[in-house]
A and B are shown apart, each in its own frame.
Chain A
Amino acid sequence: MAEKLYKKRTRQYPAWIPYLFIAPFFIGFAFFNGAPVLYSFYISLTKWSGFDLPEFVGLNNYKMLIKDELFYTALRNTAQIILIFIPLMILFGLIISYLLYSSYVKRESLFQNIFFLPYITIPVAVGAIFQAMLNWQYGLANKMLLGLNLIREPINWLNEPKYTAWIIGLMITWQSVGYCVIMITAGFRGISREVFESARVDGAGNARTFFNIALPLLKPVLVFLIITSMIWGFQIFDETVILYSPKGGVPSGGPSYSALTLVSYLYISAFTDQYTGYGASIGYALSVIIIGCTLVMRRILEGRKGAEE
């Protein structure tokens, strides 16, 4: 209350100044985000080929969506990718940053930089690099395996649906381990070294120090990484599209739609096939899935932490 009075008394600027300052952001937001979000919802209630006039059909698109096999394929593919890359990325991120932090390995920032390079590379280029490596004719993977006599015939990696989820999952792991390393290292820095020292004095072994002391203290960073990576994973598009693109970056879905992610399905429906209304309903469904999963994961991960304390 006192603070409020003080501020009122000493106000030395015209009252409209702050509104002038916040106006551009809110105008831009209303125009580029607010209006599209609302209008998209309306579009999702229509049948619209994009050229003629939209025809109002109520919840029809959503009814179609819950019966659409391809939508479930896209959802399953996306979920598989997320379930592969998040555990791997966290696991390697933890191991690498723990070893760097406990100075088992010198040259911490050199290794951090090396692991971080894939993360700073254009995602489209990441997809293209993997497309090159897995090319059946001249790719690195086949050349190495043939050279080592592990396979007799070149494998057409990108044409086999059974490899797709792992290829994408490992590609994303390759891309994002470095990000986890710097995030978790920052988390380690927040823990005072004395905590580790005293654990060692008490005779706790390396493994016990790691599991009983480091891991609980790193929980906030790990929760953050898991949740944001999950959100990001649901939106995965660029890398997979280039990796499985036969015609220069236009989403195709890969062999037997095994590389169809939710966003590429949205793209194909709305922009390639011009089912505008249906595409808009996929956008809404995707957002509901993302927000729902975020809330559930928060509940699970942070709730357990609450119980422990």
Chain B
Amino acid sequence: MIDLLTPPFDPQKILENKRALKKQLLLQEGLLEKRVALLGGSTIGEIKSILELFLLSHGIKPIFFEGQYGLYYEELAFENPALAEFHPDVIYIHTTSRNIMEYPRPGMSAEEREALLQGTFSRWSEMWQSATTRYGCVVLQNNFDMLPYRIMGNMDAVHRNGRLRFLSDLNALIYDFQLKNPRFHVNDINYLSACYGLDQWHDAKNWYLFKYALTPGAIPVLCHSVAAIIKAVYGKNKKALALDLDNTLWGGVIGDEGAENIRLGMETPEGMAFLEFQQYIGAVSDTGVILGVCSKNEEENALSGLSHPTSALKREEFASFKANWEPKHLNLQAMAKELNIGLDSIVFADDNPAERQVVRGFLPQVETVPLSVPEEYIRALDRQAYFETVSLSEDDLNRNSAYRQNMCREASRALFKDYEDYLRSLKMICRVDRFHSGNLGRVTQLINKTNQFNLTTARLSEAEAALRAEDPSYIALCGALTDRFGDNGIVIVLGARVKGEEAEMELFLMSCRVFKRRLEDAMLDEMIRRLKQAGVKKLTGLYFPTGKNALVKDFYLEQGFTAVSKERFELDLRGDAAQKYDAMEIVRYDA
């Protein structure tokens, strides 16, 4: 990540360097193009150019559609041929409390006030509903920032006719809307403005002169946050946090001072800071972020720190543990391999700037957290939005236990001489299902973040996946894998478009967590079985190389397909083409 685009921001420097930054960011390879419609209830101008920088820094190249000034409602609520022709992937509506037309008056009756609240909310929600259904895309809007004044003073937050109370209630309705509409996302400017300082955020002069609803200096904070949501929607979140130990997770050098002398716990100010940082990391990992240790230490000393009685994090919470004297970039490479994730999915946190520098030098794709002093660690990590959550799937919640189960599987594998025996011993059950509303969240997540075992790397929004679920000429399958060590949840997705007697495999991807379980064979069998039932005689498999999916470049050849070009492989389904694979029981949920 470019330093200028890493919080805390220097808005002046970003502004001065925006052209150069853009040029530099456009040089990156493999940028993902997304069509972003920008609509606003106030001036958008600079928001567009700064948002572009942040999106580019996440590898997303936006193509913008800019709505007319202040006409967001008219543009979204009604038919809009220009927007329809643009085919937006994302619609971002930038508003603020400046766009609230009417507030309750102090003497309003409870009924009138409720009607005003519902009326105000439904004007917004109908617009979002209209936008999501009309364009089938992701819609993003903020909640509302608090006002720069309080008519009733403190009571304004309490009384139902207070304006601040009105905004709080409106915000609560907006949150509930998102919970029911996964394609809609809230940008929490109520929080951002509080962090920035409301007195600074509201800049009356820039509003009266230029109709900027927030001070121009806050634009980087806003755009960073909006870009964080968009990158998370498109699967560009970080997946793992690799942590140093000495002076990162506790105070002191454990090898020199001994486990009993490290600062961790309520006894010292420093100890409290480290303890809270550990607790914060524990909570982050509960959302599905994988933890690893990357420390220059004797393993024994490192372990003694994590078994310290006040340590909030324990050894078993780390899916990968590298405490040795190897250079850290080598350990991070080994960690990526072990966890089966890309280096660009890893965030590295180390208090030592020299170690960070080495890692940045050797592995520019690894993000390093700019840690300074322990009391600022939480903020330094939190503000980066590396792990922005746009949905919390069952899978996220179980991820870390899944990695622990994998350690058990590895241990048991050592007991078998023959790999097939080992697979049979796992007593695997594959639950096959079609895409439906109950699994689309996880399916979309998998589609968008799987890089290695992904034949086409086609990325789909939830809306696009939903279209395929409903399309009778499309066979969209997902598979969940259970074995005697636990449930992996949905880990594989296949999608084939049927045209008469031919079909083309648009989606074929699998989570790295279940590599080498022959799940891909079983699911391909299942797909072929269903294609045959649909009267398909020829299946075309596609492989588009991306730089991350070399693992599967020969996949279709290994499955008995014939190459017709570098990217296309064909299989004749008229014979008995399917393999017989019996190490796994298949349960069909949709049958």
Asked whether A and B interact, the reply is no
